[in-house]
Amino acid sequence: MSTTVKVQPDLKFVKELQAVGGDSLKKCYQCATCSVVCPLSPSDSPYPRKEMVWAQWGLKDRLVNDIDIWLCHNCGTCSTLCPRGAKPGDLLAALRNMAYRNLAPLPIIGKLMSSSAGLLPLAAVPALIYGIIWIIMAGKLGSFLPTFEWDEAAHGWKAVSDGMVVFGGLFPGDYTIDPIFILVFLFMLWGFFAGVRNMLKAFEAQPKTFIVGRKKEPCFIACLIDTFKYEILQHTQFNECNDEESDELDQKRAGGHKMLMYAFICLMVVTGVVASGHWGGWFLTAIGIESLGHIVSAIGHTPMPLYHPIKLLAFVGAGLGVYGLIALTKRRVNLDQEKQSSSWYDWYLLTLIWTIFLTGLGAFVFRILGVALLAYPLYYVHLIGVFMLLAYLPWSKLGHLVYRTVALSYAKKIGRIPMGDAK
Amino acid sequence: MAEKLGVYICGGCDIGANLDVDALAKFCADGKHSSAVAVAKSNPVLCSPEGKAMIEADIKENGLDGVVCCACSPRAKWDVFKFGDKVQVERVSLREHCVWSYQEDPKFPGQMEIIAKDYCNMGMTKLINSRIPAPELPTAFKTVLVIGGGFTGMKAALNAAALGYSVILVEKQDTLGGKAATMYKSFPLGAPYSEREQEIGIEQVIKDVQANDKIKVITGATLESLAGAPAQYKATIAGQEYEVGACVMATGWVPGKGEFLKPLGYGSIKNVVTAAEFEAMAKKGGIKTADGKTPTSVAFIVDTSLLMKGVSFGACGEACEGPEEMPCKEGEAAEEGECESYVYPDKESAKHLAYSSELTSLVALKQANYVRELAPDALAYIIYDHMMVPGINEKYYKAAQDDPGIMLTKGTVASVSEAGSAVVINAKNTLLGENVAISADLVVVPTAIVPTTAADPTMNFVYRQGPAFPDLELFDGFADSNYICFPYETRRTGVYAAGCVRQPMGLGLAAEDAAGAALKAIQCIESANRGVSVHPRSGDLSFPEFNFTRCTQCKRCTEECPFGALDDDAKGTPLPNPTRCRRCGTCMGACPERVISFANYGISQMGQAIKEVKVPDTLDKGGPRIIVLCCENDAYPALDMAAMRGKSWSPYVRFLPVRCLGSVNAIWVADAMSKGIDGVMMLGCKFGDDYQCHFVKGSELCNRRKENIAESLGRLGVEPERVEQFEVSIDMYDKVPGLIDEFVRNITTNFGPNPFKGY
Could you list the beta-strand ranges (E) of B72-114. 88-93
Residue B759 has pLDDT above 80, yes or no: no
- Cβ(A407)–Cβ(A66) below 8 Å: no
**Could you tell me if residue B241 is inside a domain?**
yes
Q: Which of B407, B434, B437 sits opposite A57 (nearest CB)?
A: B407
Does residue A13 sit in helix, strand or coil?
A: helix
Length of chain B: 759
How crowded is residue A359: how many other Cβ atoms within 10 Å of its Cβ? 20
B725/B684 Cα distance (integer angstroms): 7
- Contact between A57 and B379 using a beta-carbon 8 Å cutoff: no
Domain that holds residue B294: 258-311+351-447
Q: Is B464 found in the same domain as B421?
A: no
Residue B720 burial by Cβ neighbours in a 10 Å radius (0-12, 13-18, 19+): middle
Q: Are B286 and B167 in the same domain?
A: no
Give a yes or no: residue B759 inside a domain.
yes
Mean pLDDT calculated for residue range B257-265: 94
Position B537 in a domain: no
- Confidence check: pLDDT of B483 > 70: no
- Domain identity same for B266 and B386: yes
pLDDT given at position B69: 94
* B678 falls within a domain: yes
**ipTM given for this complex:** 0.72
Taking CB atoms and an 8 Å limit, are B407 and A9 in contact across chains? yes
Per the DSSP assignment, residues forming a β-bridge with B684 are B727
Q: Could you give phi then psi for residue B645, rounded to 5 degrees?
A: -95, 20
Is residue A87 within 8 A of residue A369, CB to CB? The reply is no
The H or E element spanning position B496 is: strand B495-497
Task: For the beta carbon of residue B453, count every other beta carbon within 10 angstroms.
Answer: 27
Kindly determine whether residue A26 and residue B436, on different chains, have CB atoms separated by under 8 Å.
no
pLDDT score at B338 = 47
Q: Give a yes or no: residue B316 inside a domain.
A: no
pLDDT digits (tens, 9 = 90+) for A305-321: 888 889 999 999 999 99
Higher pLDDT, B404 or B360: B360
Exposed / middle / buried, residue A204 (Cβ in 10 Å: 0-12, 13-18, 19+)? exposed
CATH, residue B442: 3.50.50.60
- Return the CATH fold of A11-102: Fumarate Reductase Iron-sulfur Protein; Chain B, domain 2 (1.10.1060)
Query: Rounded to a whole number, what is the distance in Å from the CA of A49 to chain B's nearest CA?
Result: 9
Q: How many CB atoms lie within 10 A of CB B34?
A: 13
CA B434 to chain A, closest CA, distance in angstroms equals 6
Q: Which helix (H) or strand (E) holds B57?
A: helix B49-62
Asked whether residue B491 is domain-assigned, the answer is yes
Report the distance separating Cα B143 and Cα B147, nearest Å.
13
Q: Is the pLDDT of residue B543 over 80?
A: yes
* Long-range Cβ contacts of B594-598 (<8 Å, 24+ apart): B594/B550, B594/B665, B594/B667, B595/B546, B595/B547, B595/B548, B595/B549, B595/B550, B595/B551, B596/B544, B596/B545, B596/B546, B596/B547, B596/B557, B597/B544, B597/B545, B597/B547, B598/B133, B598/B542, B598/B543, B598/B544, B598/B545
What is the rounded CA–CA span in Å between residue B416 and residue B419? 10
Mean pLDDT of B726-734: 94
CB pair distance less than 8 Å for A11 and B379: yes
Residue B623 neighbours by CB under 8 Å, 6+ apart = B105, B107, B108, B111, B616, B651, B652, B748
> Following CA atoms B705, B711, B715, B716 in sequence, which dihedral angle do they give, to the nearest 10 degrees?
50
B417 to chain A: which residues are within 8 Å by CB?
none
Cβ A18–B398 below 8 Å, yes or no?
no
Please state the rounded mean pLDDT for residues B315-324. Answer: 49
Residues B414 and B524 in one domain: no
pLDDT value of residue A211: 63
Q: Is residue B386 domain-shared with residue B436, that is, in the same domain? A: yes
Kindly state whether residues B30 and B120 are assigned to the same domain.
Answer: yes
Do B121 and B156 sit in the same domain of this protein? no
- Per-residue HEC secondary structure of B294-354 comes to CCCEEEEECCCCCCCCCCCCCCCCHHHHCCCCCCCCCCHHHHHCCCCCCCCCCCCCCHHHH
Using the predicted structure, report yes or no on whether residue B728 has a pLDDT greater than 70.
yes
Q: Which residue would you say has higher pLDDT here, B249 or A14?
A: B249
Quick one: B689 exposed, middle or buried, by C-beta within 10 A (0-12, 13-18, 19+)?
Answer: middle
- Bigger pLDDT: B549 vs B756: B549
- Which of B426, B433, B438 faces A45 most closely, judged by CB atoms? B433
Give the max Cα distance, chain A: 83
State which of B421, B447, B473 marks the end of a domain. Answer: B447
Residue B220's Cβ-count burial label (10 Å; 0-12, 13-18, 19+) is: exposed
> Which amino acid belongs to residue A123?
A
Contact list, A26 vs chain B (CB under 8 Å): 401-404
Q: Percentage of chain A surpassing pLDDT 90?
A: 48
Mean pLDDT of the region B600-627:
92
Cα separation, B19 vs B110, in Å, equals: 10
Cα–Cα distance list, B129 to B36, B37, B597 (Å): 11, 13, 12
Q: For B369-385, what is each residue's pLDDT tens digit?
A: 999 999 988 999 999 99
Maximum Cα–Cα distance across chain B: 98
CB B55 within 8 A of CB B8: yes
Q: How high is the pLDDT of residue A423?
A: 56
- Chain A interface residues facing chain B, Cβ-Cβ under 8 Å? 1-9, 11, 14-15, 18, 26-27, 29-30, 45, 50, 53-54, 56-59, 84
Of B435, B434, B430, B376, residue with least CA distance to B408: B430
- Give chain A's residues under pLDDT 50: 1
Q: Which of A7, A50, A56 is nearest residue B438 as measured by Cβ atoms?
A: A7
CATH number where B584 lies: 3.30.70.20
B734 and B690 Cβ atoms separated by less than 8 Å: no
| pLDDT at residue A64 in the model | 83
Contact (CB, 8 A) for B678 and B757: yes
Tell me the count of A-B CB pairs closer than 8 A: 61
The Cα A338–Cα A341 span in angstroms is: 7
Tens-place pLDDT, residues B52-92 = 999 999 999 999 999 999 999 999 999 999 999 899 999 99
How far apart CA A129 and CA A181 sit, in angstroms, is 12
Q: Please check the confidence at residue B321 and state whether its pLDDT lies above 70.
A: no
pLDDT of residue A1: 42
Quick one: average pLDDT of B398-410? Answer: 89
Task: Provide the pLDDT for residue A114.
Answer: 86
Specify the pTM. Answer: 0.81
Query: Which of A12, A23, A51, A57 would you mutate first to test chain B, the one with the most B CBs within 10 A?
Result: A57
User: Start-end ranges of CATH 1.10.1060.10 in chain A?
Assistant: 11-102
> In this model, does residue B29 exceed pLDDT 50?
yes
Residue B336 confidence (pLDDT) above 70: no
Q: Model confidence over B194-203: pLDDT tens digits?
A: 877 788 899 9
One domain, residues B642 and B755: yes
End-to-end CA distance of chain A: 30
B482 pLDDT more than 80: no
Q: What is the dihedral of CA B590, B591, B596, B602, to 10 degrees?
A: 70
Q: Do B404 and A3 touch (CB under 8 A)?
A: no
Q: Does B753 share its domain with B625?
A: yes
Task: Examine the pLDDT at B319 and tell me if it is beyond 80.
Answer: no
The pLDDT mean for chain B works out to 91
Q: Which residues pair with A164 in a beta bridge?
A: A148
What separation in angstroms does the CA of A212 have from each of A3, A215, A415? 21, 9, 11
Q: Is residue B245 part of a domain?
A: yes
- Give the count of domains, chain B: 5
- Kindly report the three-state secondary structure assignment for every residue of A29-48: CCCCHHHHHCCCCCCCCCCC
Sign, CA dihedral B158-B163-B168-B170, equals negative
Tell me, yes or no, whether B333 lies in a domain: no
Q: Cβ separation of B379 and A27 shorter than 8 Å?
A: no
> Among A229-243, B119-133, B707-721, whose mean pLDDT is lowest?
A229-243
Q: Rounded to 5 degrees, what angle do the CA atoms B107, B112, B113 make?
A: 115
Q: Are residues B235 and B282 in the same domain?
A: no
Q: CATH code at B658?
A: 3.40.50
Q: Give the other-Cβ count within 10 Å of B7's Cβ.
A: 30
**Based on the domain organization, do B747 and B683 belong to the same domain?**
yes
Domain match, B411 and B280 both? yes
Output A118-121 pairs: Cβ under 8 A, ≥24 positions apart. Answer: A119/A348
Percent of chain B with pLDDT over 90: 77
Q: Are A249 and A334 in contact (CB under 8 A)?
A: yes
Cross-chain Cβ contact A57/B409 below 8 Å = yes
